[in-house]
Structure 1
């Protein structure tokens, strides 16, 4: 079965919010009912301030999602001028191990390259080992000077991927 990445449709926003929150809750990354849980569920808001992407199978079933964010936008956390970032990468438990997270991350990298930005930056929790492995395999390097704490008990690690310009169109 193939997987396609595309922009989310408004009719999918509620399901995307549920998928995102469920992925973070299932992995013990966020407490149920917390402010961040509510943020994860607001896919409609993310779509209005970022490019909300989804991965779907041949039948159109949602497998995962990510938000591609421009520096300076409402959802930007660590990006600066000339950079983009992606946030809230989530893959449904049933689709894990199929490369869905990699496809979503690569779609954001490709979009950033097409936008002409010089780098993609991200931040991730210290306990998200599978995410760290994915980002390392994509060529991201640690950016410790931008590590930060959204709340005192949570440390987010920053990563950066330098981009080469897209080749000119033929």
Structure 2
């Protein structure tokens, strides 16, 4: 893998971050399901997310945007599962052209380090039930299922809860 840097996204990058996020979700087939209707606009709204969340980006040595993840805190507008003492991973996305380079793993590790640095007890996330490949990625980083936080934003869409405990 070439040199990879994880950092806060910049305002001049937010449009590209949104485009990358939509492209990544489209490549994974998210928009083939009618229940994802309207979700593309939410994914594209990186500038809006950055108002009360951390939008991290992964870039290579030339500055090319490879991936992104949004880190949510309790009380933020994008919060789904997060509670006090936790951070939440949302909208982890890797450019289709950058897949297989460890970008998703590096972004996940960055959030886990952020949680440790902030004294959080765990990092949580939710994921569409049939995304087995991404679930395996999270499990490699210590995430385990927390079925008590599964939820349905729509009747035909089940989101599974996962959490990684942070050791201090």
Count of residue pairs the alignment pairs up: 165
- Once residues 44 and 30 of structure 1 are traced to their aligned partners in structure 2, the CA distance between those partners, rounded to angstroms, is 22
Matched position secondary structure for 2:51: helix
**Residue matched to 1:151:** 154
Q: CA deviation at 1:108?
A: 0.7
1:35 corresponds to which of 38, 52, 55: 38
Q: CA deviation at 1:127?
A: 2.0
- Once residues 61 and 34 of structure 1 are traced to their aligned partners in structure 2, the CA distance between those partners, rounded to angstroms, is 29
Q: CA deviation at 1:53?
A: 0.3
- Once residues 55 and 156 of structure 1 are traced to their aligned partners in structure 2, the CA distance between those partners, rounded to angstroms, is 26
- Once residues 71 and 109 of structure 1 are traced to their aligned partners in structure 2, the CA distance between those partners, rounded to angstroms, is 16
**CA RMSD between the two structures:** 1.3
Matched position secondary structure for 1:56: strand
The runs of at least 4 aligned residues of structure 1 exceeding 2 Å deviation read 30-34
The 5 Å alignment of 1:95-114 reads 95-114=98-117
Is 1:125 aligned to 2:128, yes or no?
Answer: yes
User: For each residue in 1:128-152, what CA deviation from the matched residue of structure 2 results, as whole angstroms up to 9, or x when unmatched?
Assistant: 2221011110011100010001111
- Once residues 11 and 88 of structure 2 are traced to their aligned partners in structure 1, the CA distance between those partners, rounded to angstroms, is 22
Is 1:161 aligned to 2:155, yes or no?
Answer: no
User: For each residue in 1:60-97, what CA deviation from the matched residue of structure 2 results, as whole angstroms up to 9, or x when unmatched?
Assistant: 00000000111221111001111111100000011111
1:56 corresponds to which of 59, 64, 71: 59
- After superposing the two structures, state which structure 1 stretch, 145-154 or 24-33, moved more: 24-33
Q: Which runs of 5+ in 2 are unaligned?
A: none
Q: CA deviation at 1:30?
A: 2.6
- Once residues 9 and 16 of structure 2 are traced to their aligned partners in structure 1, the CA distance between those partners, rounded to angstroms, is 10
Matched position secondary structure for 2:62: coil
Q: Which runs of 5+ in 1 are unaligned?
A: 166-170
- Once residues 76 and 120 of structure 2 are traced to their aligned partners in structure 1, the CA distance between those partners, rounded to angstroms, is 15
